[in-house]
Amino acid sequence: MGGDAAAVEVRDVVVRYGETTAVDGVSLSLPRGRVLALLGHNGAGKTSLLQICEGFRRPDDGRARVLGLDPVGDHDELMPRLGIMLQSGGVYPWATAGEILRLFASFAAHPLDTDMLLDRLGLRRFERTRFRRLSGGEQQRLSLAVALVGRPELVFLDEPTAGMDTEARHTTWQLIEELRADGVSVLLTTHLLDEAERLADDVVIMRSGTVAATGTPAELTSAAAIDVLEVRADPGLDLTGLRAGRTVAEPTPGQYTISGSLDTAGLAEVLAWFATAGADVTAINTRRRTLEDVYLSLTATPTPVGATK
Amino acid sequence: MIAMSLSRGHVELLQFVRDRTAVVFTFFFPALLLLLFGTIFGSESTDSGVAVSRIFTASMIAYGILNTAFVTMGSGLAMDREDGTLKRLRGTPMPATAYLIGKGLLVFALSLAEVAFLILMGVLVFDMPLPPAGHWVTFAWIFVLSVVACSLLGIAVSGLVKNARNAGAILNVPVVALQFVSGVFIHPMSQLPDWLEKVASIFPVRWMAQGFRYVFLPDEAKVTEIGGAWNLGTVAVVLGVWCVIGLVLCLVTFRWSGRDK
């Protein structure tokens, strides 16, 4: 059953902890075989939303379906098909990395080869190291291995690369890309923009428990096409004629920044103006909005008191 | 299912053995008490002519099981619940029963080791003779019923513990109180006020201790028991009933995570 259903379908989900509302009416959908990144500050409600999908608690309102099933009611049917990577905790501190991975492998019907996973995640030399002696990044990699060992169809990764060094982060990204190539659906939370930009097919930006924006990274960043045009030309030009409908500045002599309507016609107009002014243009550079610009503009506004957890 | 339970039990056991503080506290504490009590009162004899140290050894086996089954199980579960171990396991195909059987294996192994250690001390330090072969059968069923009942009650009580760091202290309150009123620390129980004797008889500890005294003491020692008999039938019934009560409480109160997580 549920073969055609979306990997994750969340409708108007509300999560409350006593007086505080951590998730306030969030809806999102993750089609099969895609990667969705939940982006947001700490306390934006990402982990709470993930907990609903993982079936660790029921939503206080709204509903969630995972692979077409109820994460709480169909727990036993769902678990063999999911891989869950928690942020922290819950690993026997005195057990070694190898023992822990083999323990979780023993829960799966057709587990991956644990040796292969240890190699892939660079954990081979820690096989006999006790969990409590591993660094944060190493623990994190083991936690990822634990989530993947059961050959899941859908994985939930809560800040998968937190605490990892650059190399481990890139290995992890590669691994997630391979999962996607194998048709595995991925729902991950992160506050790293480059991570979201590189991995995600879809991004949902959360703020104070609500969805602030949603779309592909390209959609989110290209809404304004070219955002800024930088032109290097003779210093001290009279910019009055250029200002119609545009913001123009000369922050350093000879370096002009123009923003405003910069579609193809707009660009031609700007360059024609420089030509008419008899200026010698030596360099032009266009800047598009990055996911970071979008993210910051959406999340930087002060949040209402009491709205976050 | 069996494989999952076994691998869980394996990791539990490794985990326990490597945590030396836990080993020392759960394991050597009853032995230390036995050594102290046995040495202080050891030379005295009871009305039946049996050395007090031998009576202590037999009764202390009940305490040993309480410690390894009830306290270890209860605090272990509270800890697993608080640090997210249970939650992480909940996010796998592993069923709850495999978790509990894994813990159960740990508790059985510990209890067996604890009891062997106490018996060994009784034999080596207090000259307690080993019981006749037939008594070991009785020992086996009392041991199994005791461990099962105490473990199940430990699981049930762990649900009441809000902060795992306090688990050991909370769980030890009933344990210590029951030692005093159940004929473990103070024997014979006839020294207790009548009503207290009746209250204590509701709980399993009295019957565990009485059963183990039957196993390890000569038959004439029964004069110091209430009613002057071993009452093994009642031992079986009371422990059996507590197993059922424990199981029901577990099923009703079991939670995978802390309250507000």
* H/E run at residue B248: helix B232-253
pLDDT at B255: 82
Q: Which of A89, A130, A150 sits opposite B93 (nearest CB)?
A: A150
Beta strands A61-66 and A8-17 are: antiparallel
Interface test with B, best of A20, A52, A107, A153 (most B CBs within 10 A): A107
Q: Within an 8 Å CB–CB cutoff, is residue A90 touching chain B?
A: yes
User: What's the pLDDT score for residue A302?
Assistant: 53
**For B140-151, how does the pLDDT look when each residue is reduced to its tens digit (9 = 90+)?**
999 999 999 999
* CA gap A240, B204 in Å, rounded: 95
pLDDT of B44? 73
Q: Each residue of B18-64: pLDDT tens digit?
A: 888 878 877 888 889 888 888 888 767 777 778 888 888 999 999 99
CA distance A167 to chain B (A): 27
Closest of B209, B175, B225, B236 to residue B56, by C-alpha: B209
Nearest to A176 by CA among A158, A190, A157, A149: A157
Residues paired with A82 in a beta bridge: A154
* Beta-carbon count within 10 A of A234 CB: 14
Say which residue the tokens 């009784």 belong to. Answer: B122
Which residue is it, tokens 């800040």? A159
d(CA B130, CA A127): 45
- Please give the CATH topology (third level) of the domain spanning A8-221: Rossmann fold (3.40.50)
Phi and psi angles of residue A104, each rounded to the nearest 5 degrees, phi first: -70, -30
Handedness of CA B179, B180, B185, B189 (dihedral sign): negative
Residue B15 has pLDDT above 50, yes or no: yes
Say yes or no for a CB contact (<8 Å) between B85 and A89. Answer: yes
**B258 in contact with chain A, both atoms CB, cutoff 8 A:** no
**Does this model's pTM top 0.90?**
no
Q: Report the pLDDT value the prediction gives residue A305, as an integer from 0 to 100.
A: 47
Give mean pLDDT, residues B193-215: 94
CA dihedral B76, B82, B84, B86 (to 10 degrees): 50
What is the rounded (10 degree) CA torsion for A295, A296, A301, A306?
Answer: 60
The predicted structure's pLDDT at residue B2: 83
Straight-line distance from the first to the last Cα atom of chain B, in angstroms, rounded to the nearest whole number: 28
Whether residue B77 is predicted with pLDDT greater than 50 in this model: the reply is yes
pLDDT at A62: 95
Q: What is the DSSP string of B214-243?
A: HHHS-GGGGGGSGGGS--HHHHHHHHHHHH
Q: Which residues of A touch B4 (CB under 8 A)?
A: 106-107
Answer whether B90 sits within 8 Å of A56, measured CB to CB.
yes
**CB proximity under 8 Å: B 3-32 to A:** 3-4, 7-8, 10-11, 14-15, 18-19
CATH number for the segment(s) A224-288: 3.30.70
Q: What span, in angstroms and rounded, lies between the C-alpha atoms of A237 and A279?
A: 8
Task: Give chain A's residues under pLDDT 70.
Answer: 1-3, 222-225, 300-309
| Greater model confidence, A42 or B199 | B199
Alpha-carbon torsion A194, A199, A203, A204, what sign? negative
Q: What is the pLDDT of residue A1?
A: 46
Cα(first)–Cα(last) distance of chain A, in Å?
A: 37
From chain B, pick out residues whose CB is under 8 angstroms from the CB of A87: none
pLDDT at A177: 94
Confidence label for B249 from pLDDT (cuts 50, 70 and 90) = very high
pLDDT averaged over every residue in chain B: 89
